[in-house]
Chains A and B, each alone.
Chain A
Amino acid sequence: MLDWIGTIIQGVLLGGLYALFAAGLSLIFGIMRLVNLAHGDLIVLAAFAILALASWFGIDPWLATLLAMPAMFAVGFGLQQLLLNRTLGRDLLPPLLVTFGLSIIIQNGLLEAFTADSRRLRLGAIETASIQLGGNLAIGVMPLLTLGSAIAVILLLNLLFYRTALGRAFRATSDDLEIAQLMGIDHHRIYAIAMAIAMLVATVAALYLGAGANFDPTIGPARLIYAFEAVIIGGLGSLWGTLAGGIVIGVAQTVGAKINPEWQILAGHLAFLAVVLLRPRGLFPRAED
Chain B
Amino acid sequence: MAELRSSPPAEPPRYRIETGTRASTMLALGGIAVVAMLAVLPAFAGRGLIQDLIFVFYMLALAQCWNLLAGYAGLVSVGQQAFVGLGGYLLFALTIGAGIDPLAALVLSGLITAVLAVPTALVVFRLRGPYFAIGSWVVAEVYRLVFAQFKQLGGGTGTSLPPSATGGIFGIEWVKTAFELRSPAARDIITYWIALVLAAGAPLMVYLVLRSRYGLALFAIRDSEATAESAGVDSFRTKLGVYVLVAAATAMIGALIYLQKARISPDAAFSVLDWSAYVIFIVVIGGVGTIEGPIVGVIVFYALQRYLADFGTWYLILLGALAIATMLFAPRGIWGYVAQRYNIALFPVRRRLLRP
Contacts and interface: CB of A to CB of B under 8 A. Distances in A.
A86 B328 contact: yes
A280 B131 contact: yes
A34 to B, nearest CB: 9
B354 to A, nearest CB: 31
Contact of A101 (B126, B141, B323, B331): B323
Contacts of A59: none
Interface string A264-285: 0110011011001100100000
B313 A277 contact: no
Contacts of B148: 262
Contacts of A98: 323-324, 327-328
A93 B141 contact: no
B145 A102 contact: no
B137 A277 contact: no
B127 interface: yes
Contact of B133 (A87, A96, A265, A270): A96
Nearest to B284: A97
Contacts of A117: none
B277 interface: yes
A271 B327 CA distance: 35
**Contact residue range for chain A?**
35 or more
B107 to A, nearest CB: 30
Contacts of B129: 92, 289
A105 B321 contact: yes
A228 B135 CA distance: 9
B142 A269 contact: yes
A232 interface: yes
A104 B316 contact: yes
A273 B139 contact: yes
B317 A108 contact: yes
B324 A111 contact: no
Given A97-B323, A265-B145, A269-B145, A109 B131 contact: no
Interface in B66-87: 70, 76, 78
A229 B137 CA distance: 11
Residue from the set A93, A94, A273 with the largest chain B CB neighbour count within 10 Å:
A93
Given A92-B76, A97-B280, A269-B141, A83 B126 contact: no
A98 B137 CA distance: 18
B113 to A, nearest CB: 19
A101 B321 contact: yes
Interface in B119-173: 123, 126-131, 133-135, 137-139, 141-142, 145-146, 148-149
Interface in A26-60: 29, 33, 35
B288 interface: yes
A270 B142 CA distance: 8
B79 to A, nearest CB: 11
B316 A266 contact: no
Interface in A67-88: 83, 86-87
Contact of A266 (B123, B131, B142, B327): B142
B322 to A, nearest CB: 8
Interface in A179-232: 221, 225, 228-229, 232
Contact of B145 (A101, A104, A266, A272): A266
B317 A273 contact: no
Residue from the set A33, A108, A111 with the largest chain B CB neighbour count within 10 Å:
A108
B317 A109 contact: yes
A75 to B, nearest CB: 16
Contacts of B70: 93
Contacts of B284: 93, 97
B327 A276 contact: no
Nearest to A280: B126
B320 A96 contact: no
Nearest to B276: A100
Given A86-B328, A104-B317, A265-B145, A232 B323 contact: no
Residue from the set B126, B314, B319, B324 with the largest chain A CB neighbour count within 10 Å:
B324
Interface of A: 29, 33, 35, 83, 86-87, 92-94, 96-98, 100-105, 107-109, 111-112, 221, 225, 228-229, 232, 262, 265-266, 269-270, 272-273, 276-277, 280, 289
25 contacts: A35-B134, A83-B324, A87-B328, A94-B327, A97-B327, A100-B277, A101-B321, A101-B322, A101-B327, A102-B320, A102-B324, A105-B321, A108-B317, A109-B313, A112-B317, A225-B141, A229-B138, A232-B131, A266-B146, A269-B141, A273-B135, A276-B135, A277-B123, A280-B126, A289-B128
Interface of B: 70, 76, 78, 123, 126-131, 133-135, 137-139, 141-142, 145-146, 148-149, 272, 277, 280-281, 284, 288, 313-314, 316-317, 319-324, 326-328, 331
Given A103-B320, A105-B324, 5 more contacts: A100-B277, A102-B320, A109-B317, A225-B137, A277-B126
